[in-house]
A and B are shown apart, each in its own frame.
Chain A
């Protein structure tokens, strides 16, 4: 109960094509994250699944049944919004119970469902407050609670953590992961933050300009990207791209993660100069300006000292290099 299929889904606003033919299957109980730069169409795609935007062509189906023409309320979905979108005139309890009330559930059923959700999210003491009397983190918990109460087939999250501060973001992220395990429900989660995508997802869908760039488990995307877009988007700091020709290789571009680039003050494959060093305690990032390849990032674990402007040599770990053609597609041998 809760498998989502998109087949050849498109969306156009006037003459602008925002979604250009997306095929996707999300299994029941899966945590699927849509990630991509702003304007890639990830939010639009989510709103199409929710029924808030019409589908221009193609089919959206839940459990095999086409829902293109179904009103949002009848799709058995629940959505959590970036701006929380709580009803300002209702108490927390009424906010959470409204959907069931609209669906005609009895008062006892509503009370049982809201109390259960409140218990899961520790909202008990807040139940009679209005949204204006809550902090940002509390509001987002209420919004999540409102979604849980409906026991939907599909949970939709539209950048739910973007308005929270950094500490609260981590806490809420863990909370969402815990809820997913407890509820076992299918969740679709939109974010532009690849850390959220990596930490939460069973399956990541990377979108670029209205198309799916790659679908896969977080570590598959990290270690085995299909193209330079995915390789560059997933992972922080970004993957380094070197010009293969300068290294005597036959591909056009060579990708190497910052942690797979060895740095030495004596000898190596690529000569450069240290341009900046970032010490983060657990790791040290060294930015080296090289001739031909531009600025390359090296990630070292632990604390290391490098003088700015000191000459260094970098050597990619040949076993971990990825090769791409001129169009940015991965060359697999």
Chain B
């Protein structure tokens, strides 16, 4: 009964639920952004009020831009996030291709081993990681963070991408082999473009935890030159006094780059360029 499926009441109910969920999800972001534009007194007087001409104050942003080297922190976060993302996608896709494409002894075991990382939090190994970084002289370098985040992101990337790569037409890869394409060309030119939506999904899921992470920057790279934005924002949170204007302004600013990256990747998620490859 198509009339039942398309009834207005159902449609309104579905939209109601979705709008409610969106509001719940966006509420904290909204509070952060709104309060970052208010004076300290106004934040505490009425946290949910919008900034009025009387309460509007950019002191938070001024503090952030004057104190500390926020531009450098941003740059560090960007380097670490994009660097890790690049390696996760490259190595994840390569491992996924090998697992999905080639029959070899221990294929299933290898896949399981690579997926194990999804279940075991990498933070359990923090002490050992720190020891290794100290031994290899990588403490207080961005490289240390890139390496750790790459390791952290790979299991999920391999897991998701190998599922998608299994879906890529065998005929297409075989046609490439018969036409004399190397396995690398088949991987980069035929398979990767077809799993682009999956790559974007992996990119989003990998990027956000890295950008937001406080743990590893604090332990592995806390020096002034290597601080990331999340770690940099912590200078405003004290044991006794917290500069809320500055914290909220820093967080408000930190949302922007990740939002931009998300918008870039989500376009890929939606755009299906695969049509016409097979069938």
Contacts and interface: CB of A to CB of B under 8 A. Distances in A.
Judge: A and B partners, yes or no.
yes
A65 interface: no
A50 B277 CA distance: 22
Interface string B15-37: 00000000000000000000000
A98 B179 contact: yes
Given A89-B193, A133-B276, A83 B171 contact: yes
B39 to A, nearest CB: 55
A89 B179 CA distance: 15
B277 A77 contact: no
A67 to B, nearest CB: 13
B190 interface: yes
B177 to A, nearest CB: 5
A148 interface: no
A322 interface: no
B134 interface: no
Contacts of B274: 88
Interface in A158-216: 158, 163
A331 interface: no
B174 interface: yes
Interface string B246-279: 0000000000000000000000000001111111
A290 interface: no
A189 to B, nearest CB: 16
B178 interface: yes
A235 B181 CA distance: 41
Contacts of B276: 86, 88, 130-134
B67 interface: no
Contact of B179 (A51, A102, A130, A131): A102
Interface string B29-73: 000000000000000000000000000000000000000000000
Interface in A47-88: 47, 50-52, 71-74, 77-79, 81-88
A99 interface: yes
Contact of A82 (B171, B190, B194): B171
Interface string B178-198: 111100000001100110000
Nearest to B172: A85
Chain B CB within 10 Å, residue with most, of A88, A103, A132: A88
Contact of A89 (B169, B181, B189): B189
B125 to A, nearest CB: 37
Interface size class, chain B: 20 to 34
A197 to B, nearest CB: 21
B277 A88 contact: yes
A73 B179 contact: yes
Nearest to B190: A87
Interface in B158-178: 169, 171-172, 174-178
Contacts of B174: 47, 50, 52, 72, 79, 81, 85
Contacts of A50: 174, 178
Nearest to B194: A88
A78 B172 contact: no
Chain B CB within 10 Å, residue with most, of A84, A131, A136: A84
B279 A88 contact: no
Interface in A23-60: 47, 50-52
Contact of A73 (B169, B171, B180, B193): B180
Nearest to B185: A102
Interface string A146-163: 100000000000100001
Contacts of B279: 83-84, 136, 163
A131 B190 CA distance: 14
Given A130-B276, A134-B276, A83 B169 contact: yes
A197 B260 CA distance: 58
Nearest to A158: B171
A146 B169 CA distance: 18
B101 to A, nearest CB: 12
A237 to B, nearest CB: 31
Contact of B178 (A72, A88, A131, A163): A72
Nearest to A147: B178
A77 B179 CA distance: 9
B177 A73 contact: yes
A87 B178 contact: no
A6 to B, nearest CB: 19
A81 B194 contact: no
Given A88-B276, A131-B277, A77 B171 contact: no
26 contacts: A50-B174, A51-B178, A52-B177, A72-B174, A73-B177, A73-B179, A73-B180, A73-B181, A78-B178, A79-B175, A81-B175, A83-B171, A83-B278, A84-B171, A87-B175, A87-B190, A88-B276, A102-B180, A103-B180, A131-B277, A132-B275, A132-B276, A134-B276, A136-B279, A146-B179, A158-B171
Given A88-B277, A134-B276, 13 more contacts: A50-B178, A52-B177, A71-B177, A85-B278, A86-B175, A87-B190, A89-B189, A98-B179, A99-B178, A131-B277, A132-B275, A136-B279, A146-B179
